[in-house]
Amino acid sequence: MKAMILSGLFLFICLPPAQASQTIVLSTIQRLPISTNLQTGLADRIAIEAFHRIGIQAIIKKIPARRALRDANAGLHDGDLARIAGVTRTYPNLLPVPEITWVAEIVAFSKNQQITTPDWTSLEEHRISYIRGWVVFENNLPDTPMVDKVATPEALFKMLKMDRADLALYEKKMGYGLLSQQQNTDIHALQPALSIEPIYIYLHRKHESLLPKLATAIRDMKQDGSYQAILKDCLGQVLPPSSLEDYIRLQQSYDTSVSLQKTPLQ
């Protein structure tokens, strides 16, 4: 009996952390309808279900943008819920799950609907605000007095309301989620999108063995209809039916194109 107890204890100690505790903690900077404090957003539910299918509980924790990546890279938590491709180049300990979870539409919000945003250079003559720590903006915008960095989405739209910025850069669905909460009908997303980015879950490399299992779980969700049910339930909160159908087609087109190209994410 003593030998059996010691043997079981040895096996438990030798298990990888994720398997021993059956819990993974993911940081996120996302907001409604992508992530909520109750973990009921689109990315929350996709991640929780995918991890559940491989026998692990996922917990989502809100952390400021820059700190979220830094802490995940240092192994202070297990990964990040939702980031664009290429994060590994700057944070080498973070590896992407090779399956798209959703597609971000990076847009400029403004009170002036007459402005068009065909590309990043079209922003040069405007006063711009964005959330500090968002890699997509830091990679595409110059650091000039015409650009203000803020800490939260609320501060971002406050800059527009107070006429301290012409354009506020943010993700389209999350922007409309916040505007809906604020009952604000004066601010609108401009067209076209500045950038469309497939989004992935990232894990610390100590969990590298989970990457193919999670990718398979997400693909299975897309095949069995559970992914589409989550998508419609969550995005239907902020998007009208026509916009929701447009987004579904966009997401499916990126699923197909990325699958065909097999583009390296790191």
Q: Among all chains, which residue has been given the structure tokens 């938590």?
A: 77
User: Phi-psi bin for 55: left (phi > 0), alpha (psi -120 to 50), beta?
Assistant: left
- With cut-offs at 50, 70 and 90, classify the pLDDT of residue 260: low
State pTM to two decimals: 0.86
**Maximum mean pLDDT: which of 65-69, 144-148, 222-226:** 222-226
What confidence tens digit (pLDDT) does each residue in 97-137 have?
999 999 999 999 999 999 999 999 999 899 999 998 888 89
What confidence tens digit (pLDDT) does each residue in 69-85 have?
999 999 999 999 999 99
Residue 5 lies in a domain: no
User: What does the pLDDT read at residue 139?
Assistant: 86
Residue 216 lies in a domain: yes
Residue 145 lies in a domain: yes
What range does the domain containing 235 cover?
A: 14-103+198-261
What confidence tens digit (pLDDT) does each residue in 213-248 have?
999 999 999 999 999 999 999 999 999 899 999 999
Same domain, 225 and 214: yes
pLDDT (mean) for 46-59? 98
User: What does the pLDDT read at residue 7?
Assistant: 44
Which residue, 195, 221, 242, sits at the end of a domain?
195
Same domain, 132 and 184: yes
Q: Per the omega criterion (within 30 degrees of 0), is the bond before 153 cis?
A: no
User: What does the pLDDT read at residue 89?
Assistant: 93
Same domain, 53 and 179: no
Cα-flanking dihedrals φ and ψ of residue 245, to 5°?
Answer: -65, -40
Model confidence at 52: pLDDT above 90: yes
- With cut-offs at 50, 70 and 90, classify the pLDDT of residue 11: very low
Q: What percent of the chain has pLDDT over 90?
A: 79
Q: Say how many C-beta atoms besides its own lie within 10 A of residue 129's C-beta.
A: 25
- With cut-offs at 50, 70 and 90, classify the pLDDT of residue 145: confident
Which residue, 195, 217, 247, sits at the end of a domain?
195
Residue 9 lies in a domain: no
Asked whether 148 and 128 are in contact (CB, 8 A), the reply is yes
User: What does the pLDDT read at residue 240?
Assistant: 87
Same domain, 179 and 58: no
Residue 1 lies in a domain: no
Three-state SS letters, the chain = CHHHHHHHHHHHHHCCHHHHHCEEEEEECCCCCCCCCCCCCHHHHHHHHHHHHCCCEEEEEECCHHHHHHHHHCCCCCEEEEEECCHHHCCCCEEECCCCCEEEEEEEEECCCCCCCCCHHHHCCCCEEEECCCHHHHCCCCCCCCEEEECCHHHHHHHHHCCCCCEEEEEHHHHHHHHHHHCCCCCEECCCCCEEEEEEEEEEHHHHHHHHHHHHHHHHHHHHCHHHHHHHHHHCCCCCHHHHHHHHHHHHHHHHHHHHHCCCCC
Model confidence at 10: pLDDT above 60: no
User: What does the pLDDT read at residue 171?
Assistant: 97
Across the chain, what does the average pLDDT equal?
89
